[in-house]
């Protein structure tokens, strides 16, 4: 059977296996945990753990560097998972990763990235470290679409860099953040207190493999992993991306209305119905298969209602992310 049909069948079975838990709401952000009997222990390391060792390094591709690419050297005897939107801090400028990549053990690979620090192009460190935050959810959505378009046009995982710079600039202006290097990280740092208020309200449940997020009662996105051991380590980072968008959404509300009446919050059934419908749209969307930058294959999907991807390796879903249009 051809790869597309095999991968599509694997992804459909995975989507069918998920169970949606009870919602937790704080202010205008609601998060529902996701579980699955297919959840298992992983056979790989996560970027945060790997990069702390002396056997895993992320660097510029050369001394002069190039904006849309970085070099990853994995000398560990395990694969390493780098998650879509992960921020890498240091070297000549901060970047985020354009898609989820499973870096093979004892391999070296060039990965596709996007700049999230427009105003710097000089070394601070020779190697990258990981940031505290992911790319915020709405820009992950836009990046996902542009990467899909480039895959269709020229089999490239590159993004629309200008769109990313413009969006970060607009977000900084909305939050009244003046950053010397136009760094996305400065937006998070400036509003760390508000972000932590949200973070304290959301916790990881036993055996949770993912979550679906709503802002203002409307579904925004979903992240699901094939392993029960991933979410406890990446949940807070991923959540920060949704929190920043929730704060942005909050700033656009009519303050007088906000003070006089609390916004209506949907009930559990309404959230479950939206989440199930969203999963149905993911399952029914047209799929395209591309060879991943690292191990496995990547399924890309998108229509007028949803866009996203799933990384599949050894006939198992490693990570699936999708965003509402």
Q: pLDDT tens-digit profile of 276-296?
A: 999 999 999 999 999 999 999
How many whole angstroms separate alpha carbon 202 and alpha carbon 197?
Answer: 10
Domain ranges of the chain: 3-324
Q: pLDDT at position 256, please? A: 38
The closest of 45, 109, 118, 119 to 83, measured between CA atoms, is 45
Q: pTM for this one?
A: 0.94
Q: What percent of the chain has pLDDT over 70?
A: 94
Q: pLDDT at position 254, please? A: 43
289-307: average pLDDT: 96
DSSP string, 198-211: HHTT--PPTT--EE
Q: pLDDT at position 3, please? A: 72
Q: pLDDT tens-digit profile of 105-123?
A: 999 999 999 999 999 999 9
Name residues whose C-beta falls within 8 Å of residue 167's C-beta, 6 or more positions apart in sequence.
138, 139, 142
Q: pLDDT tens-digit profile of 251-275?
A: 765 443 544 444 455 689 999 999 9
> Which tokens belong to 146?
């542009």
Q: Is 64 exposed, middle or buried (0-12, 13-18, 19+ CB in 10 A)?
A: exposed
Which residues partner with 20 through β-bridges?
Answer: 34
């Amino acid at each position: 059977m051809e790869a597309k049909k095999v991968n599509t069948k694997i992804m459909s079975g995975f989507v069918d296996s998920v169970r949606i838990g009870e919602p937790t709401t704080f202010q205008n952000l609601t998060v529902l945990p996701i579980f699955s009997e297919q959840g298992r222990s992983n056979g790989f390391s996560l970027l945060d753990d790997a990069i702390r060792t002396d056997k895993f390094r992320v660097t510029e591709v050369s001394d002069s560097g190039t904006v849309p690419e970085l070099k990853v050297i994995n000398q560990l005897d395990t694969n390493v998972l780098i998650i879509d939107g992960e921020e890498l801090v240091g070297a000549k400028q901060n970047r985020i990763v354009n898609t989820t990549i499973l870096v093979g053990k004892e391999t070296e690979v060039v990965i596709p990235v996007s700049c999230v620090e427009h105003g710097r192009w000089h070394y601070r460190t020779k190697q990258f470290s990981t940031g505290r935050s992911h790319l915020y959810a709405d820009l992950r959505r836009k990046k996902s679409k542009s990467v899909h378009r480039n895959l269709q046009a020229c089999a490239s995982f590159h993004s629309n860099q200008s769109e990313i710079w413009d969006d970060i600039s607009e977000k900084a202006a909305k939050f009244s953040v003046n950053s010397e290097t136009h760094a996305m990280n400065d937006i998070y740092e400036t509003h760390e207190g508000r972000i932590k208020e949200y973070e304290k309200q959301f916790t990881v449940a036993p055996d949770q493999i993912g979550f679906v997020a709503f802002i203002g009662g409307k579904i925004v996105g979903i992240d699901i992993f094939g392993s029960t051991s991933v979410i406890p380590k990446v949940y807070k980072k991923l959540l920060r991306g949704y929190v920043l968008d929730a704060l942005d959404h909050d700033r656009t509300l009519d303050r007088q209305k906000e003070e006089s009446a609390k916004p209506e919050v949907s009930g559990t059934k309404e959230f479950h119905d939206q989440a199930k419908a969203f999963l149905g749209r993911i399952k029914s969307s047209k799929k395209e298969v591309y060879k991943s930058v690292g191990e496995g294959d990547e399924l890309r999907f998108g229509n007028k209602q949803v866009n996203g991807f799933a990384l599949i390796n050894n006939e198992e879903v490693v990570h699936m992310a999708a965003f509402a249009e």
